Amino acid sequence: MIISNILLLVFLTGDIAICTAPEYQEQPSIAFDGNNYLVVWQDKRSGDCDIWGQFISQEGTLVDTNFPICIAENNQVDPEVCFGTGNYLVIWKANKEDTGKIYGQRVSPSGVLIDTAFTINDWGYGTNPDIAFNDTNFMVIWRDYHDLGKDQVRGRQVSQGGIPIDTSFLIPVTGSDREWPSIAFSDTNYLVVWSNTDSFHIYGSLVSTNGVPSDTVFPIIEKNESTMIIPDVASCGENYLVVTTTRDTIIGRLVSTSGTFLDNPFTISTEKIGSPSVIWTDSSYLVVWEGDISKGPTDIFGQWISKNGTLIDTTFIICDAYYYQAMPVSAYGNNNCLVVWADTRDFDYDIYGTIVSTLGVEERDCFANARNDRLEVYPNPFTEYTVIRYSEIENRNNAKIEVYDMVGRLVEEVDGNATTESLHSKIIIGEKLLPGVYFVKVRSYEPIKIIKLRRVR
């Protein structure tokens, strides 16, 4: 009998040194093109801040070397990247002559810069840009110093050919300055979210696929905390998940594609935290953030959340290396996620990352002997050892038994051809395991099967 579905967290690589060039590398952003990830960041190796990039394979290996995307005069900061149907669009704020322009540069999946960089914002002073894609065009938003003396949120569509469409639009003006805008696309529209500086509440507004903002601006999270800033948003297609941080709490709230609330705000984590980021992975949301659990340097944490807002298992550590890790972001690609962050283990900020994989797990409380079951474990829970038996598997000699602990470490591994039984493969495991919870994974030509296992005293 299946009791519950959970996620087995597996780190497929150690920490990946993406860029360790001299001086500071910060503010990473990431996207996936179907084959590789592209990570971009602001980079001070030449003195001023430039925009650099690096491709990373799905297995977590660096593809070629770091390459410059923009090395113009003065500082280029706050990069973001998004993949369309054929090429990436990288955007950033340029401080050239203090004009506050938002620029874009198309990049091919092979790393070729397509044409030249172009200006996206058509007036005002832009900063803190973000980007999304709706299967036809890109939508770029930014924080803009408005002529009424207030920071507002503006946006503009950009074609896949790198041509800004029409003129920029303004989210309806209400209240105080708006900071740290973020955008996500569902199957029907965009949701733009931001922080208001007078109340420090998180507000939002829907925008149509052709760039028409709704007349309605609505508060999403109201906690009366003076440090509630930097929201982020992602969509599973059916709803949006908005996340933000207060002084000591990560908060989330689900919003429908029509702009109604699907629940009350809920707590994701109560660590000392900041800079939350969220993505959808085809099966669940992944929220990552920088956290402090010991009143010392920050580490990188994560939490899986179902599309109905339920926390899946517990918060997990992604990186707790020496000194500070900060500014985490992630992207999903073909069953795995690449999480990247800025890292000071070598004192200057560098860019590091790791590949995280999740697998659905069936939790069983008894011997499973139904004819269509491929994996039988008995006893479970066990005290000394347990027996894993395959029933009627043609390719049992190609099977492999792997046992993982709760943090995704491989602790035991057995080849399927270790037994000589012709019809029912039987393997004894667990004699060297400490009491606790484990996950048994069977690899064969059949779909991978995973079952939760407990050793008790």
Mean pLDDT calculated for residue range 96-118: 91
Q: What residues have CB less than 8 Å from 160, skipping those under 6 apart?
A: 84, 85, 86, 87, 136, 137, 138
Name residues whose C-beta falls within 8 Å of residue 439's C-beta, 6 or more positions apart in sequence. 8, 361, 403, 404, 405, 450, 451, 452, 453
Backbone torsions φ then ψ of 383, nearest 5 degrees: -110, -40
- The answer to whether position 278 is within a domain reads yes
Q: Based on the domain organization, do 33 and 150 belong to the same domain?
A: yes
Peptide bond into 28 cis (omega under 30): no
| pLDDT of 199 over the 60 cut | yes
- Helices (runs of H) and strands (runs of E) counted in the chain: 0, 36
261-296 in b/e form (b: 16+ CB < 10 A) is: eeeebeebbebbbbbbbbbbbebbbbbbbbbbeeee
The arrangement of strands across the sheet holding 424-429 comes to 376-378, 386-391, 424-429
Rounded-to-10 torsion of CA 244, 328, 301, 434: 160
Band (13; pLDDT cuts 50, 70, 90): low
Q: What is the pLDDT of residue 22?
A: 94
Residues facing residue 179 across a β-bridge:
195
Least confident interval from 127-136, 139-148, 257-266: 139-148
Residues 96 and 236 in one domain: yes
Specify the range with the lowest mean pLDDT, choosing from 106-115, 170-179, 217-226, 369-378.
Answer: 369-378
Number of domains in the chain: 2
> 22-26, 88-92, 197-201, 330-334: which has the minimum mean pLDDT?
197-201
Q: How many CA atoms lie within 13 A of 247 on its CB side?
A: 4
By mean pLDDT, which of 274-278, 281-285, 345-349, 448-452 is the weakest? 448-452
Q: Are both 425 and 335 inside the same structural domain?
A: no
Confidence of residue 389 (pLDDT cuts 50, 70, 90): confident
Please say if the pLDDT value at position 359 is more than 80.
no
Higher pLDDT, 343 or 417: 343
Residue 5 lies in a domain: no
pLDDT class of 230 with cuts at 50, 70, 90: confident
Residues 332 and 445 in one domain: no
Q: Is the pLDDT of residue 394 over 60?
A: no
Give 89-93's long-range contacts (Cβ < 8 A, gap of 24+).
89/131, 89/138, 89/158, 89/162, 90/40, 90/51, 90/53, 91/120, 91/129, 91/131, 91/140, 92/42, 92/51, 92/129, 93/126, 93/127, 93/128, 93/129, 93/142
The yes-or-no verdict on residue 209 having pLDDT over 50 is yes
User: Among residues 356, 383, 401, which one ends one of the domains?
Assistant: 356
**pLDDT given for residue 308 in this prediction:** 95
What's the whole-number average pLDDT of the chain? 84
Residue 387 has pLDDT above 50, yes or no: yes
Q: Is the pLDDT of residue 276 over 90?
A: yes
Token pair belonging to 405 = 């602990």
Predicted pLDDT of residue 335: 79
CATH number of the domain where residue 450 is located: 2.60.40.10
Nearest to 203 by CA among 193, 212, 213: 193
* Residue 228 clears pLDDT 90, i.e. is over it: no
Least confident of 163-177, 200-214, 333-347, 400-414: 400-414
Residue 401 is predicted with a pLDDT of 82
In a domain, 2, yes or no: no
Q: Exposed/middle/buried for 133, CB within 10 Å: 0-12, 13-18, 19+?
A: middle
pLDDT at 125: 87
SS3 label, residue 412 = strand
* CA distance linking residue 183 with residue 127, whole number of Å: 14
Q: Is residue 69 part of a domain?
A: yes
Compute the distance between CA of residue 64 and CA of residue 56 in angstroms, rounded to an integer: 9
- Mean pLDDT throughout 183-201? 90
CATH of the domain at 179: 2.120.10.10
Domain final position from 356, 378, 413: 356
User: Is pLDDT of 232 > 80?
Assistant: yes
Mark whether 306 and 345 lie in a shared domain. yes
Is 90 within a domain? Answer: yes
Higher pLDDT, 335 or 60: 60
Give yes or no: residues 334 and 410 share one domain. Answer: no
Partnered with residue 43 across adjacent β-strands are 25, 50
- Do residues 313 and 208 share a domain? yes
Q: Do residues 28 and 82 both lie within one domain?
A: yes
Q: Would you say 237 and 208 are in contact if contact means Cβ atoms under 8 Å apart?
A: no
Q: What mean pLDDT comes out for the span 385-391?
A: 76
- Domain-embedded: residue 427: yes
Question: Are 330 and 381 in a shared domain?
Answer: no
Strands 376-378 and 36-43: unpaired
Instruction: Specify whether 107 is located in the same domain as 184.
Output: yes
Q: Give the confidence band of 446 by pLDDT, cuts at 50, 70, 90.
A: very low
pLDDT in tens, 360-374: 443 433 333 333 345
Q: Buried b / exposed e across 58-91, counting CB within 10 Å, b at 16+?
A: bebebeeebeebbeeeebbbbbbbbbbeebbbbb
Query: Residues 226-242: what's their mean pLDDT?
Result: 88
Q: Which residues of 403-435 are buried (b: 16+ CB within 10 A; e: fewer)?
A: bbeeebeebbebebeebeeeeebebebbeebee
The most confident of 12-21, 202-211, 386-395, by mean pLDDT: 202-211
Q: Are residues 199 and 270 in the same domain?
A: yes
Is 3 within the bounds of a domain?
A: no
pLDDT higher than 70, residue 421: no
**pTM of the predicted model, to two decimals?**
0.80
Tokens of 444: 């064969």
Domain end point (choices 328, 356, 384): 356
Query: What does the alpha-carbon distance between residue 168 and residue 211 come to, in Å, rounded to a whole number?
Result: 9
In this structure, the answer to whether residues 351 and 426 fall within a common structural domain is no
Residue 132 has pLDDT above 80, yes or no: yes
Full domain range(s) for residue 403 = 365-455
4 located within any domain:
no
Q: In Å, how far are 23, 32, 38, 229 from 64, measured between CA atoms?
A: 21, 16, 12, 37
Mean pLDDT, rounded, for 85-99: 86
Max mean pLDDT range (90-99, 128-137, 165-174): 128-137
